[in-house]
Amino acid sequence: MLEYAKTQIDHAITRDDLKGHSFENAFGGATSFLRRKYTKDLSGVELAVTGVPFDQAVTNRPGARFGPRAIREASTLQTFDPPYRWPVDPMTDVAMCDYGDLAFDYADVAAFPVRLEAHVAGILGAGAACLALGGDHSVTYPILKAHAAVHGPLAVVQFDAHSDTWPDGDPKRIDHGTMMTKAIRDGIVDVERSVQVGIRTTNAENPVPEIDALTVHEIGPVETARRIREAVGDARCYVTFDIDCLDPAFAPGTGTPVWGGLSSAQAQRILLGLAGMNVVGMDVVEVSPPYDPTGCTAVAGAHVATDLACLWAAGARGR
C-alpha cells in the first residue's frame, strides 16, 4: 500500500482498469466515487455511478446539488480495503466506473426529468446497472421510469423519514415529496412488494407498506431486514436511500430532518441483511453538505452508496 501511495495520484483519471483498490492519499487527487475510473465509455462496464446535482424540488432547505461531489470526496476513505462484512467487493469483483454527472440547464427545470430519464436509459441501454448520487428525492422518479422501461414494474425499498406519497394531481410538478405518488400512478411500482423503512411522518393515505422508525427501534435491524426480504421476495427491486432516514444526530446535512430516525449502525446492518436480493438499481439522495460542517452526512452517504454497490454486486454474483 505504501509503495502505491508514493506513485498513485489522480487515479480516477490515470488508471486504465475498471477493477482494483486504490491507494493514493485520501486527501489528494481527483475525487471520483471510490477512485473509480472517470469515463463516458461504458464498454465492459457492469456498474456505472452517476451524479445528479439537482435540488430545485425541495420543500425546505436546498443544498443537495452539492451532494454528489461531497459523497465522492468522502468515499476516498473507503478505497483501500474490501467493504466491511460483505461477501463481495465491488471494487475488485465488478467492472465499475464513475460516469460523471448529468449535464442539464439549471434554469430549465421543466426539462430536467426527461433529460435525467434519458441519461439513465443510456446507461442501462449500454448493459450497465446504475447507482445514482443525488440530488433531492425528486430525481428518483425519472430514474425509476428508466429502470421500469427495461425491467417492468419494480418493487421499491425506500429508506426515508417521509413517504413521498402526498397527493399531487399535476403531472408537470417536480416535487421531492410526491415522487412516489407519480411513480405509483404511472404503474411502475409494484406496491404490494414494496416497503418503506424509517418513516416517521404521518400520511394517512400512504399506500406503501411501512416499517416505521419506531418499529425498527423495537424489532432491531436483523428482523427489519428479514421483513424487507419477506415483502420483496424474488421481485426485481429498486433501492432508494434518502439520507434523512438517519436521525439528524447522524446526518444533519439534509433538507428535511426529522428526529427519531435510524442510527448509522442500524442502517448498515439492515443493508447487509438484504444481501442476495434481486436489486436492479439504486440511489442515495438528499445529502446537503452546507448544513453539516463536520462532513459526517457525506461520510454516511458514501458508506450507504458503497453498501448499495455491494448489495447490487451480491445479487449479481449470487452471493
pLDDT in tens, 184-213: 999 999 999 999 999 999 999 999 999 999
In this model, does residue 1 exceed pLDDT 90?
no
pLDDT at 2: 61
* 244 appears as a binding residue in the annotation: yes
With CA atoms as reference, report the closest residue to 253 among 291, 293, 295: 291
pLDDT in tens, 6-30: 888 999 999 999 999 999 999 999 9
* pTM for the full predicted model: 0.97
Q: Integer distance in angstroms from the first to the last C-alpha of the chain?
A: 28
> Which of the 8 DSSP states describes residue 8?
-
Which domains, and CATH codes, for the chain?
2-316 (3.40.800.10)
* 160 appears as a binding residue in the annotation: yes
Mean pLDDT, range 80-103, rounded to an integer: 97
Is-contact 60 255, C-beta < 8 A? yes
C-alpha cell at 187: 404503474
CA distance 302 to 211: 24
Residue 29's CB is within 10 A of a number of other CB atoms, namely: 18
Sign, Cα dihedral of 54, 60, 62, 64? negative
CA distance 32 to 72: 5
Angle, CA 49 vertex, CA 47 and CA 53 arms, to 5°? 160
pLDDT-derived band of residue 246, with 50, 70 and 90 as boundaries?
very high
In this model, does residue 99 exceed pLDDT 70?
yes
C-alpha cell at 111: 426539462
* 212 appears as a binding residue in the annotation: no
CA distance 36 to 42: 13
pLDDT at 171: 81
pLDDT in tens, 251-290: 999 999 999 999 999 999 999 999 999 999 999 999 999 9
Name the residue with higher pLDDT: 2 or 3.
3
CA distance 249 to 69: 22
Burial class (CB in 10 A: 0-12, 13-18, 19+), 32: buried
> Which percentage of the chain shows pLDDT scores above 70?
99
Upper half-sphere CA count for residue 166 (Cβ side, 13 Å): 12
β-sheet bridge partners, residue 134: 52
Strands (E), the chain: 37-38, 47-52, 96-101, 129-134, 155-159, 195-197, 210-211, 237-242, 279-285
Ordered DSSP codes for 213-270 = HHHHHHH-HHHHHHHHHHHHTTS-EEEEEEGGGB-TTT---SSS--SS-B-HHHHHHH
Mean pLDDT, range 135-146, rounded to an integer: 98
Which are the contacts of 212, defined by CB distance < 8 A and separation ≥ 6? 198, 199, 200
Max CA-CA distance within the chain?
59
Residue 28's CB is within 10 A of a number of other CB atoms, namely: 12
pLDDT at 319: 73
